Structure 1
Amino acid sequence: MTDGTLVQDFGADPIATRETDHYQKEYIEGFVDKWDELIDWEARAESEGRFFIDILKARDKKKVLDAAAGTGFHSIQLLKAGFDVTTVDGSAEMLGKAFENGRRRNLVLNTVHADWRWLNKDVHGKFDAIICLGNSFTHLFDEHDRRRALAEFYAALKWDGILIIDQRNYDSILDGDFSTKHKYYYCGDQVVAEPEHVDDGLARFRYAFPDGAVYHLNMFPLRKAYTRKLLTDVGFKKVKTYGDFQETYQENDPDFFVHVAEKLADEQ
């Protein structure tokens, strides 16, 4: 799945590119190398605080699958906090960068290259928790792919496991209320990440860097209520949604929503 080319290929009509598997061509080496510049690890760690660590520790979760590891930010934060972490991504470029980032911090990541739709074929065992962060779930354009991936997550969890999954606030983007403070997720200095085209089936984002480099990602704009329904449809019994890590929020304010879905809440 590695694409070592220097130019992203969206074909002659970029906004017609709406296939799940295309993300593998989007995360080319040059873009992956700049991903940490986009995130700014220190700023992101400060903005998130202990949000994910506290959610996991409050529920006594120890064994965690980071299903959309990217360059390894959350895997490394959780390892440093004492969790047993398996680091997964569908992009070989991202996974290589994550391992390198861990090694630089004297950590050895347990990495697995896997597609969510066939997760349990490549990742074995049951987990206390699965995290799927960084707006990654929106790379799935086909509803069947989304349901299949969530079913795979569900199957990989222990009976009392939880799934933590996030997404951009696509409701505000689709409804014309988009504005981003870049306070929480994409904290990089002078890096611009904004929608270039939006319709009900596509959110095409443009990422511009200070050195003039420009990259794009084509993603499916998931509405919050739709994501919550998918989670309950596949079997999760309880879903709690946070807006930019807060329990209370105005619907159009958050940049991101974080859903915490419990597999078998209050029953064994």
Structure 2
Amino acid sequence: MATPQQKKQCFGADPVACRETNHYREEYIEAFVNKWDALIDWESRAQSEGDFFINVLRERGAKRILDVATGTGFHSVRLIEAGFEVVSCDGSAEMLAKAFQNGRQYGHIMRTVQVDWRWLNRDIHGHYDAIICLGNSFTHLFSENDRRKALAEFHATLKHDGFLILDQRNYDAILDHGYTTKHTYYYCGDNISVYPEHIDDGLARFKYSFPDRSTFHLNMYPLRKNYTRRLMHEVGFQHIETFGDFQETYRENDPDFFIHVAEKAYREEPDSD
């Protein structure tokens, strides 16, 4: 029987046929999680994104934040150090253990909860000023029912004037024009290759190669930008602003990532006269 350290990713006989939401738990094995911080490079990523998320949260008066895809804790730690009250969640027990360990290294005892977004309110109680769902994590949901259910749970967990920040890869550009990347903002580690081995309308299978020749894969659903925005509107979010690589204005094919800021509250329209 394999120990956790020896466990390997398994996608079955036909990896591109593996299109199941729950499979992400088998993808984030301990060996891959232990490489994740090298992939991100916390210092470089902090420099590349600057205070974008901190500023968005502060501008809207948020104080209590639910990080529903904390991964190894990068954004949770940054927000804690910026003075926010943060609860950190993930579906992967391995990721949460690593996040807690990272938090300790920065002098913080993180409040961590293992959750499935589709039943978020079963494990998370109370309401939050903002929810962040970052790191392209939402694309682990393969069925529309799962995506709608998760967004509805996010909506219900927010205060009446709360908001959701959710990011995703620019799958439109990948599907329509092929894969290119600047690796400027999200994956900043040196000598690490991230590349889609397979892409179709229902699957983006990415390969992650590290300097020690270890390789891992993630199977994700290639969300198109306008589809994501439509689902947000349909579950009740009222106003959605989308940034491309942290910029308000961009050409559609240029950004590596889109960031959606979706507000729960209605905005009163100004008088036309």
- TM bucket (normalised to shorter chain) is over 0.9
* TM-score, length-scaled by structure 1: 0.98
Alignment match, 1:111: 112
- The answer to whether the 8 A contact 2:239-2:267 is kept is no
- Aligned to 1:207, the other structure's residue is in SS state strand
1:24 aligns with 2:18: no
Write out per-residue CA displacement over residues 127-150 of structure 1, whole angstroms, 9 at most, x where no aligned residue: 000000000000000100000000
Note the aligned Cα RMSD (angstroms).
Answer: 1.1
- The answer to whether the 8 A contact 1:5-1:28 is kept is no
Alignment match, 2:189: 188
> Which residue identity does 2:94 align to in structure 1?
E
Alignment match, 1:143: 144
- The answer to whether the 8 A contact 1:197-1:204 is kept is yes
Distance 2:206 2:177 in 1: 15
Alignment match, 1:46: 47
Alignment match, 2:200: 199
The offset of 1:237, in angstroms, is 0.3
> Which residue identity does 2:173 align to in structure 1?
S
Counterparts of 1:1-268 in structure 2, within 5 Å, are 5-266=6-267
Distance 2:193 2:47 in 1: 20
- The answer to whether the 8 A contact 2:68-2:132 is kept is yes
Unaligned runs of 5+ in 2: 269-273
Distance 2:167 2:255 in 1: 12
Distance 1:114 1:200 in 2: 28
- The answer to whether the 8 A contact 1:177-1:252 is kept is no
Q: Which runs of 4+ in 1 moved over 6 A?
A: none
> Which residue identity does 2:223 align to in structure 1?
L
* TM-score, length-scaled by structure 2: 0.96
Distance 1:141 1:5 in 2: 28
Which protein has the larger Cα radius of gyration, Structure 1 or Structure 2? 2
Distance 1:33 1:214 in 2: 13
Distance 1:123 1:100 in 2: 22
Relative distance call for 1:190 and 1:59 in structure 2 (3 A) is same
Distance 1:264 1:12 in 2: 47
- The answer to whether the 8 A contact 2:172-2:224 is kept is yes
> Which residue identity does 1:115 align to in structure 2?
D
**Aligned-residue identity in percent:** 65
> Which residue identity does 2:73 align to in structure 1?
G
> Which residue identity does 1:9 align to in structure 2?
C
- Aligned to 1:198, the other structure's residue is in SS state strand
- Aligned to 2:255, the other structure's residue is in SS state coil
- Aligned to 1:206, the other structure's residue is in SS state strand
The offset of 1:4, in angstroms, is 5.5
- Aligned to 1:266, the other structure's residue is in SS state coil
- Aligned to 2:48, the other structure's residue is in SS state helix
Distance 1:140 1:51 in 2: 26
How many residues align structurally?
266
Distance 2:221 2:71 in 1: 18
Relative distance call for 1:4 and 1:160 in structure 2 (3 A) is farther
Write out per-residue CA displacement over residues 50-72 of structure 1, whole angstroms, 9 at most, x where no aligned residue: 00000000011000000000000
- Aligned to 2:104, the other structure's residue is in SS state helix
- The answer to whether the 8 A contact 2:209-2:215 is kept is yes
- The answer to whether the 8 A contact 1:10-1:17 is kept is yes
Write out per-residue CA displacement over residues 162-190 of structure 1, whole angstroms, 9 at most, x where no aligned residue: 00000000001101232101000000001
Distance 1:5 1:16 in 2: 24
- The answer to whether the 8 A contact 1:69-1:75 is kept is yes
The offset of 1:5, in angstroms, is 4.6
Alignment match, 2:271: none
Distance 1:53 1:69 in 2: 15
- Aligned to 2:212, the other structure's residue is in SS state coil
- Aligned to 1:184, the other structure's residue is in SS state coil
> Which residue identity does 1:101 align to in structure 2?
N
- Aligned to 1:175, the other structure's residue is in SS state helix
> Which residue identity does 1:246 align to in structure 2?
Q
- The answer to whether the 8 A contact 1:240-1:260 is kept is yes
- Aligned to 1:9, the other structure's residue is in SS state coil
Distance 2:178 2:161 in 1: 37
